[in-house]
Structure formats: structure tokens, C-alpha cells
């Protein structure tokens, strides 16, 4: 257990105590806890985010649920643009379902302190495309960018340049 505890993030108890569904951590050994947290994402922050460990490294992986994102015209007032159904295949209670918009813009924001220090991270956009989806083919890429704000050393090069992504 002493060895396995070293593989867990320093603040793992704080994270577990904030889980949406109580994790019986006291009944688990540190090894069991490590496997539980790497095999099965833990919903945190009222269920708006999920927390998981990368099994090979013990590094933190955070996923923001759609409700945690800022989606243009996705505030629920215009369900003919965006709808908020329940999705049994999602770890989150609700997903954002796009019906059609003329301007697609999504922002996500999180505290970098939630992540493992001194670690190289990749940000992914996770989605499903229906068979009849359109507007996402090779001729219609989207712009994507990851930025890090407010670094103590003022290094604004800590983020990647804008790139084109192809959902289709």
C-alpha cells in the first residue's frame, strides 16, 4: 500500500471526497483504488467533470461534460439548434445534441491545477457523429486551439497554435 500510494496523485483523497457518488475508498487498498480510478472515470464537481488516472503513468485525466462547456446557442433556449438529451452511452447525465446552427462555437475552460504538474497534456474533443450528419467533411474544417492563461512566469508559448480539425 505504501508503494501504491506513491503512484496516486498527492491530492487523491480530496478529489475522491468531492465525487458525485461516494467511492468506498476506505474499503479499498491503494492498489485497488489505483485500478478503480484508472479503469472507471469518477464524476466530480457535481457531475460536470470526470476524473481518471492514466494507468501507465498515474497522471490525471480530466473530462469536461457538455454542460460545463460554453456552446453558442446551447443554453437550452433554442432546442431547434441544440438539444440536451440524456445519453446512456455517456458518462455524463446529459449531452449536447446539435440539430443545426449557422455558427458553431464551443469553449471549454478549467483550472490547470486540477491536472498533474510537470506534465505534457493533449486536449481532445470527444463527440459522436450520426450517419446523416453533414457539414463536417474534408472541405469544412473547424479551427481549434488550446490556451493556457495566467501562468506565473508569463509564458504565453505554453499553448499550441490554432489548427484545423476535421470531425468527419
Partner 1 sequence: YFARERGNGWMEVEMGHFYNG
Which spans of this chain sit near partner 1 (rule: CB under 8 A)? 89, 112, 115-129, 144-148, 155, 158-161, 163-168
Nearest distance from residue 123's CB to partner 1, in Å?
5
Mapped onto helix, strand or coil, the DSSP state of residue 157 is helix
Nearest distance from residue 96's CB to partner 1, in Å?
14
Residue number, 56 or 113, with CB nearest to partner 1: 113
Handedness of CA 15, 145, 133, 75 (dihedral sign): positive
Residue number, 27 or 152, with CB nearest to partner 1: 152
Cα–Cα–Cα angle for 109, 68, 130, nearest 5°? 110
Helices marked H in 1-116: 2-7, 12-17, 30-39
Residue number, 23 or 167, with CB nearest to partner 1: 167
Residue number, 70 or 112, with CB nearest to partner 1: 112
Nearest distance from residue 167's CB to partner 1, in Å?
5
Cell of 79: 432546442
Nearest distance from residue 144's CB to partner 1, in Å?
4
Round to whole Å and give the CA distance between 87 and 90: 5
Residue number, 1 or 121, with CB nearest to partner 1: 121
Residues linked to residue 106 through DSSP beta bridges, in sequence order: 71
Nearest distance from residue 16's CB to partner 1, in Å?
21
Is-contact 161 148, C-beta < 8 A? no
- CA-based nearest residue to 23, from 32, 67, 155: 32
Amino acid at each position: 500500500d505504501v508503494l501504491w500510494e506513491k503512484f496516486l496523485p498527492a491530492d487523491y483523497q480530496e478529489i475522491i471526497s468531492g465525487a458525485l457518488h461516494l467511492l468506498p475508498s476506505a474499503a479499498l487498498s491503494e492498489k485497488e483504488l489505483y485500478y478503480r480510478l484508472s479503469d472507471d472515470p469518477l464524476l466530480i464537481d457535481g457531475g460536470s467533470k470526470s476524473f481518471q488516472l492514466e494507468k501507465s503513468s498515474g497522471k490525471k485525466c480530466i473530462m469536461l461534460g457538455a454542460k460545463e462547456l460554453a456552446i453558442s446557442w446551447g443554453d437550452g433556449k433554442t432546442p431547434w439548434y441544440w438539444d440536451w438529451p440524456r445519453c446512456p452511452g455517456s458518462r455524463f447525465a446529459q449531452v449536447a445534441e446539435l440539430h443545426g446552427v449557422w455558427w458553431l462555437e464551443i469553449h471549454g475552460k478549467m483550472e490547470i491545477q486540477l491536472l498533474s504538474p510537470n506534465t505534457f497534456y493533449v486536449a481532445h474533443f470527444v463527440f459522436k457523429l450520426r450517419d446523416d450528419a453533414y457539414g463536417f467533411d474534408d472541405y469544412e474544417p473547424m479551427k481549434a486551439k488550446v490556451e493556457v492563461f495566467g501562468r506565473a512566469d508569463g509564458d504565453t508559448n505554453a499553448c499550441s497554435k490554432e489548427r484545423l480539425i476535421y470531425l468527419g
